[in-house]
Each structure stands twice: as structure tokens, then as C-alpha cells.
Amino acid sequence: MGFFSYLRSTVLSKVVMAITGAIIVLYVIVHTAGNLLIYLGRDTLNSYSAFLHSLGPILWIIRIILIVSAILHIITSIKLKFENWRSKPTKYAVKNYLKAKFTSRTMIWTGLMILAFVIYHLLHFTIRVTNPQHYYPEFYQPHNAVSSVILERFDVYRMVVLGFQNPLISIVYIIGVITVGFHLDHAIQSMFQTLGYNQKHYFPTIQKCSTGIAIIIALCLVSIPISVMLGFVGGGI
């Protein structure tokens, strides 16, 4: 089995969940902050995107780390879940939960919904196959120029605005990012516990921050399609 022999240990499986999860959480935070640049206008968002694409090999290293993390996270979670189902073959006729929350009991389902959402999101905005009519290079009109010039950069702003002007696409994104919020509510504090960081004097704070960060991320991301649909962003496009 080689590398995957960690799957035989319940503790090591959890540690892989926590480390791969932490990598993806960090990415999600940075990605959310980047997305908020849309509120600073077309030029800011498009130069940010051009900057990311200019990173070249670094961008690919980040992508590979993320893809490997995601694959390990998913494989491990499915293995854990199957074992957990096997360990509790008979359900209670009546069950009252004391501490287990809705978000902690539904990790596999929110996880799989995120997976579906992420695949769609990549096809839509990264590989750009679902709505080819939205993808243009940016036309840039210098202030005193007589004719417009075509910049060597892609008009991400326009792509996002055109995408979110379609209510169906916006609803998919809104549901997708709320699901991410549900997953993170349990996930962030969970990785501290798994990695052994739980002492009385700080863990209650970590638990509150876990919920807080999850809500902030979900609200920030939900705000973008809503702002576009209401015309606050990209009204002129």
C-alpha cells in the first residue's frame, strides 16, 4: 500500500483530514479576500487576475498542492465514513443529540456538495467551458487615446458579472458557498482538536472563531452574486 497505508490508522487518517483541510481552508480564505477585489472595480480585479496568471510555475505549484490535498481529503473522508457507518449498524429509534451539531453530523454531505460545486466552478471560471460567450479580453480605453487598444489580459470582471446576471448561476453559487460555510463551521475547530491543540484556556475561543470565520467567508462570497444581481456591481456591462 505504501503511502496510503496511513489509511489503516484511525489517528493518522484524521491527521491527514486535518492537514489537507487546513491547506484548503487557508486557500479558501485567500481566495475569498481576492474575490472581494471585485468591489474595487474592473481594473483592480483584472490586474489581480493578471498578476496571478503571471506567476506561471508558482501558480501551478499551488494548484498541484491543492489538488493533491483535495484528493487525499476526499479519499480519506470516504474511508472514514464507510467505517463509521459499519461501526453503528443499528440506529436508535429515538435519538437526542446533546452536543453534535447539524453541521458536524453532515460533514460528508456538505463535503460532497462542495465537491460538485467546485467541479462546476472550475468548469465555469477556470477552464471556461460552460459559458464560452462570457469570455473576452479586456478592451482598455486610455484616457486621451483616439482608438481603443486591446490589452493582453482577460476580462475577469466582465465574465463574473455576465455569469452572475444569470439568476440560475447565481443560485448555484449561493448554495455552494453557504455549504462551504456549514462545512467550515465544524471543520476549523475540528482540525485543532485532531492535531492535539485543545486546552481549556483557548479552545472555547477557537470554537467561536470557527463559526465566526465560516459565517464571514460565506457572507463575503454570497454578497458577490447578490450585488451583481441587484446591479450594485457591473451595472454598466
Q: Which residues bind ligand HEM (CB under 6 A)?
A: 14, 17-18, 21-22, 24-25, 28, 73-74, 77, 80-81, 107-108, 111-112, 114-115, 180, 183, 187, 190-191, 194
Farthest-apart Cα atoms in the chain, separation: 77
Angle between helices 167-194 and 156-164 (to 10 degrees): 110
Which one of ligand HEM, other proteins, none interacts with residue 21, CB within 5 to 8 A by kind?
ligand HEM
Which one of ligand HEM, other proteins, none interacts with residue 104, CB within 5 to 8 A by kind?
other proteins
CA 45 to chain centre: 18
Q: Which is nearer to ligand HEM, 12 or 151 (CB)?
A: 12
Which one of ligand HEM, other proteins, none interacts with residue 201, CB within 5 to 8 A by kind?
none
Question: 110: number of CA atoms within 13 Å, CB side?
Answer: 18
Q: Which is nearer to ligand HEM, 225 or 234 (CB)?
A: 225
Q: Cβ distance 207 to 189 under 8 Å? A: yes
Which one of other proteins, ligand HEM, none interacts with residue 50, CB within 5 to 8 A by kind?
none
DSSP state, residue 140: E
Q: How far is the CB of 158 from ligand HEM (least distance, A)?
A: 26
Q: Which is nearer to other proteins, 36 or 195 (CB)?
A: 195
Contacts to other proteins by CB under 8 A:
9-15, 80, 83-84, 86-101, 104-105, 107, 186, 189-190, 193-200, 203
Which one of ligand HEM, other proteins, none interacts with residue 115, CB within 5 to 8 A by kind?
ligand HEM
C-alpha distances in angstroms, 112 versus 46, 70, 88, 183, 207? 31, 12, 21, 10, 23
C-alpha distances in angstroms, 158 versus 50, 169, 206, 217, 234? 14, 15, 38, 23, 8
Strand 137-140 versus strand 149-154 pairing type: antiparallel
Q: Which is nearer to ligand HEM, 22 or 178 (CB)?
A: 22
Q: Which is nearer to ligand HEM, 121 or 153 (CB)?
A: 121
Supply φ then ψ for residue 148, to 5 degrees: -80, 150
C-alpha cell, 15: 491527521
